[in-house]
Each structure stands twice: as structure tokens, then as C-alpha cells.
């Protein structure tokens, strides 16, 4: 992206990456992304965020359209994930006078990311400011948006908040301003996907971030992926959606029972287990879900928003089959700590999958509330045992309410 003046003394100098198709190994990015960075120029100049290490030259070219990179006095890092800092170590060779400005948590991270232990770092916290001479940046705590290091920078004189990932999305168009988008419907799609992937596990922190924004007067949000948001453009809608998506969910007794079943054996036990839970908790929403017939990300979402859950897994080659692993890969480990689960399944020779799934979930601090395995086709007695496991599971939940 060539540089673009946003307001007097404020420039967008970030880089487009329209060809990215996967972010952080796991997140599909159908419409690419951008690594947004900004220059704020008073008597001194601050660069806000940098970019992925592969794009240093493009970032330097864009900066150079506005000023000599050597003039940069500060590099403000609102968040240090390498898509925003990967180029920092190299970039500093062109900005030798620049002091890094970031949170205490970010300072620790950035030394490890750059492998430059002697970096000149100014640690800032809520209430601190950076006077550029004619412009001033104020800093606001915004942790876990989406790393512990994150913060917001506020340019009160121009009504701009720099939020890094918060309110951003992996979406790429040539002009990167919300009112200049050609395909806003695609932006809307990615905005939701980005929120779900990055921020849904941190709802409490999203609510805090929104509260921080309520304290500020602004008409522009310079996020670090996707278009800059403006009042009257997409800004109000974006904030409203974050408010809606991060609202506390009504306490619902959702209990999904996930299973994979090649010959119907584990499926039969899943049905008996679900019957047992429902018998004890008639008002609970007990859902039987065949993993291979459902969208895996939707199922992970159900698991993450559930009160408790169960997994039925056969053992194939001494391991859980891939659909079970895909489900487990989608668990929000932060918010699922302490969540009760049961695991069961049919096996032919050894049945390792049941133990492996149980151990994995316990390693995430989920709470095992029962386990059952049986060979091949469940007998009447084994189906009764699966129902009894469900009843005990329901009773334990009832007692913990």
C-alpha cells in the first residue's frame, strides 16, 4: 500500500498482502490481509506498528514517501505478534534513533522476538503519554486483545485510536478505507470470521476494550488489519457488532455429545449417554452430533459455549481418528478450563483413543467426569452403562449449579 494521508500529520504507511491464504497456520484468509502501520508527525515522528518480516522493504518505501525513516523517534507497538513486529530488528537499522514504546508485557516479548536484549524500550501504561511536540499519544490498557501485551494509543487532537488487532480483520482491498471498499459484503464476512478466531475466547477483555473506547472521543479507528474505520463508515457498526458478540451469554445448559462412529457402535453409546443426561436434566439442551456430518468450526464453537460436553471416539491405529483431533484443536483452552466432560467409545484391540482424549482434555484443565470403553458392538449391559454414565454426569452437573 502506498502511503496515504489520513489527517494532518497522520499517515497510513502499511503494506498489503492480498495473497495470504492462511494466518497463524490455522486461520483461513480467503481475501488476504494488510499489515497496517501509521506515522504520526509532530515535531517528532512516531511510527505505530511495523509489519511481517517479509515486507520490510515495502514498509520502508511507504515510510519514505512521508519522511526519512532515520527521522523516526519512536516506534509504538500496541501488540507484538510477529505480523506486526517481525520486521522490527531489520527496520531498526533504518531508524537507528527510534525508541520502542510498548507495554511491560510487550517489552519482554519484543526482546525475544528480535533477539536484541539491549533494545531501547520505553515501557508505558494506562495514563502515560508520549509528547511528539504538537501531537500527543496517550496510552490505555487493553490486555488480551489479543495477547497480554496489547494496549491502545489515542491521538486526542485528531480523534484517532490505534487499536492494532482490535476491530480489524484479514481483508485486503487497494484503498483500505472503510468508505472506499468495493466489496463491503466480503469485508463483513471476514470481520465476523476474524472476531470468532481471534477475539471470541477473550470476551471479557473485548468488553473491557469497548469500555476503554467509551472513554474516548474519536471518529477514526486505525486498526492494523483491514480498512481504517471511520465515523459514518463502518466504525459504528463494527463497535456495535463487537458489543453484541461479546455480550454475556444467557446461562444455558447446553451439553453437546460429539461422536465419530464407523459402524454405529460408538454412536449407540452416544445415544444412551445423551438419554441418561437428559433424564436427569430434562431442561438441558443435549445435542447429539456426528462430527463428520457437521462443520467442524461450528462444532468447536458449540463445545466452547457449552456448559459441559462429551466425546465418543473409536480407536483407529491406537489413536483417535482425525475428525476427533480436529474438534479438539478448536477448543478455547482459556475459557474451557474447569469445564466437565466425559469420554467413551468402542474399540477392537486396545482402545487407546479414550485415554488419549481424556488425558488431552485434562491437560487443558477440563474436568473429567466419567469414562467408558467397550469392545466392538455394545451389549445391552454396556448401553445401560453408557446411560448410567450420562445420569451420573447429569447429577454431577446438577449438584454443581
Where on the chain is the footprint of ligand FEO (CB under 6 A)?
Answer: 79, 81, 83-84, 146, 165, 224-225
Q: Looking at beta carbons only, is 79 or 267 nearer to ligand FEO?
A: 79
Q: What's the rounded Cα separation, in Å, for the pair 247 and 133? A: 40
Q: From the centroid of its chain, how far is CA 128?
A: 27
Q: Looking at beta carbons only, is 85 or 346 nearer to ligand FEO?
A: 85
Q: Looking at beta carbons only, is 223 or 265 nearer to ligand FEO?
A: 223
Instruction: Report CA-CA distances (Å) from 376 to 9, 78, 268, 317, 385.
Output: 71, 55, 11, 15, 15
Q: Looking at beta carbons only, is 50 or 73 nearer to ligand FEO?
A: 50
Residue in the block written with cell 458478540: 245
Q: Shortest Cβ distance from residue 77 to ligand FEO (Å)?
A: 11
Q: What's the rounded Cα separation, in Å, for the pair 188 and 169? A: 9
Q: Looking at beta carbons only, is 145 or 353 nearer to ligand FEO?
A: 145
Q: What's the rounded Cα separation, in Å, for the pair 16 and 332? A: 30
Q: Shortest Cβ distance from residue 84 to ligand FEO (Å)?
A: 6
Q: Shortest Cβ distance from residue 80 to ligand FEO (Å)?
A: 9
Distinct helix (H) and strand (E) counts, the chain: 12, 22
Q: Looking at beta carbons only, is 136 or 208 nearer to ligand FEO?
A: 208
Strand runs (DSSP E) across 213-351, as ranges? 220-223, 229-230, 254-259, 285-290, 309-312, 340-347
Among the listed residues 157, 132, 137, 122, the one whose alpha carbon sits nearest the alpha carbon of residue 44: 132
Q: Shortest Cβ distance from residue 150 to ligand FEO (Å)?
A: 8
Among the listed residues 231, 225, 181, 227, the one whose alpha carbon sits nearest the alpha carbon of residue 49: 225
Q: What's the rounded Cα separation, in Å, for the pair 100 and 114? A: 12
Position closest to ligand FEO via CB:
81
Q: Are the beta carbons of 379 and 387 closer than 8 angstroms? A: no
Helix axes 235-246, 184-194, angle to 10 degrees: 30
CA angle 175–181–183, rounded 5-degree value: 130
Q: Shortest Cβ distance from residue 134 to ligand FEO (Å)?
A: 30
Q: Looking at beta carbons only, is 167 or 281 nearer to ligand FEO?
A: 167
Q: Shortest Cβ distance from residue 201 to ligand FEO (Å)?
A: 12
Q: What's the rounded Cα separation, in Å, for the pair 321 and 275? A: 25
Q: Looking at beta carbons only, is 12 or 278 nearer to ligand FEO?
A: 12
Q: Shortest Cβ distance from residue 168 to ligand FEO (Å)?
A: 7
Strand runs (DSSP E) across 236-300, as ranges? 254-259, 285-290
Q: Are the beta carbons of 160 and 144 closer than 8 angstroms? A: no
Q: Are the beta carbons of 138 and 129 closer than 8 angstroms? A: yes
Q: What's the rounded Cα separation, in Å, for the pair 329 and 103? A: 30
Q: Shortest Cβ distance from residue 358 to ligand FEO (Å)?
A: 32
Q: Shortest Cβ distance from residue 164 to ligand FEO (Å)?
A: 7
| Phi, psi values for residue 161, rounded to 5° | -115, 135
Largest CA distance in the chain: 81
Q: Shortest Cβ distance from residue 191 to ligand FEO (Å)?
A: 14
Q: Looking at beta carbons only, is 202 or 273 nearer to ligand FEO?
A: 202
Q: Looking at beta carbons only, is 170 or 307 nearer to ligand FEO?
A: 170
Q: Shortest Cβ distance from residue 211 to ligand FEO (Å)?
A: 20
Q: Looking at beta carbons only, is 84 or 267 nearer to ligand FEO?
A: 84
Amino acid at each position: 500500500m502506498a502511503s496515504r494521508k489520513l489527517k494532518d500529520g497522520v499517515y497510513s504507511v502499511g503494506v498489503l498482502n492480498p495473497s495470504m491464504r492462511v494466518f497463524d497456520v490455522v486461520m483461513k484468509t480467503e481475501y488476504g490481509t494488510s499489515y497496517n502501520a501509521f506515522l504520526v508527525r509532530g515535531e517528532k515522528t512516531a511510527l505505530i506498528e511495523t509489519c511481517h518480516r517479509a515486507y520490510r522493504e515495502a514498509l520502508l518505501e511507504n515510510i519514505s514517501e512521508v519522511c526519512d525513516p532515520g527521522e523516526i523517534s519512536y516506534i509504538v507497538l500496541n501488540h507484538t505478534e510477529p505480523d506486526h513486529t517481525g520486521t522490527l530488528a531489520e527496520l531498526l537499522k533504518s531508524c537507528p534513533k527510534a525508541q520502542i514504546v510498548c507495554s511491560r508485557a510487550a517489552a519482554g516479548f519484543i526482546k525475544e522476538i528480535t533477539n536484541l536484549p539491549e533494545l531501547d524500550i520505553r515501557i508505558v501504561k494506562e495514563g502515560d503519554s508520549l509528547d511528539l511536540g504538537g501531537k500527543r499519544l496517550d496510552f490505555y490498557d487493553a490486555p488480551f486483545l489479543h495477547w497480554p501485551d496489547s494496549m491502545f494509543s489515542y491521538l486526542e487532537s485528531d480523534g484517532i485510536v490505534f487499536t492494532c488487532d482490535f476491530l480489524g480483520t484479514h481483508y485486503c482491498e487497494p484503498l483500505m478505507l472503510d468508505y472506499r471498499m468495493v466489496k463491503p459484503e466480503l469485508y463483513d464476512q471476514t470481520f465476523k470470521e476474524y472476531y470468532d478466531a481471534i477475539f471470541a475466547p477473550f470476551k471479557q477483555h473485548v468488553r473491557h476494550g469497548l469500555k476503554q473506547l467509551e472513554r474516548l472521543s474519536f471518529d477514526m479507528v486505525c486498526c492494523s488489519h483491514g480498512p481504517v474505520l471511520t465515523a459514518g463508515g463502518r466504525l459504528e457498526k463494527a463497535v456495535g457488532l463487537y458489543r453484541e458478540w461479546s455480550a454475556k451469554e444467557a446461562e444455558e445448559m447446553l451439553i453437546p455429545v460429539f461422536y465419530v462412529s464407523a459402524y454405529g457402535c460408538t454412536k449407540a453409546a452416544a445415544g444412551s449417554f445423551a438419554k441418561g443426561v437428559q433424564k436427569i436434566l430434562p431442561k438441558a439442551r443435549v445435542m447429539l452430533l456426528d462430527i463428520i456430518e457437521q462443520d467442524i468450526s461450528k462444532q468447536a464453537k458449540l463445545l466452547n459455549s457449552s456448559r459441559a460436553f462429551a466425546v465418543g471416539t473409536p480407536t483407529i491405529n491406537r489413536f483417535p481418528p482425525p475428525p476427533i483431533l480436529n474438534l479438539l484443536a478448536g477448543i478455547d483452552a482459556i475459557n474451557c478450563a474447569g469445564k466437565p466432560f466425559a469420554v467413551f467409545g468402542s474399540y477392537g484391540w486396545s482402545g487407546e483413543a479414550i485415554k488419549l482424549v481424556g488425558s488431552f482434555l485434562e491437560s487443558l484443565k477440563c474436568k473429567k467426569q466419567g469414562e467408558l470403553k467397550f469392545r466392538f458392538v455394545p451389549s445391552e449391559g454396556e448401553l445401560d452403562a453408557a446411560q448410567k454414565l450420562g445420569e451420573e454426569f447429569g447429577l454431577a452437573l446438577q449438584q454443581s449449579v
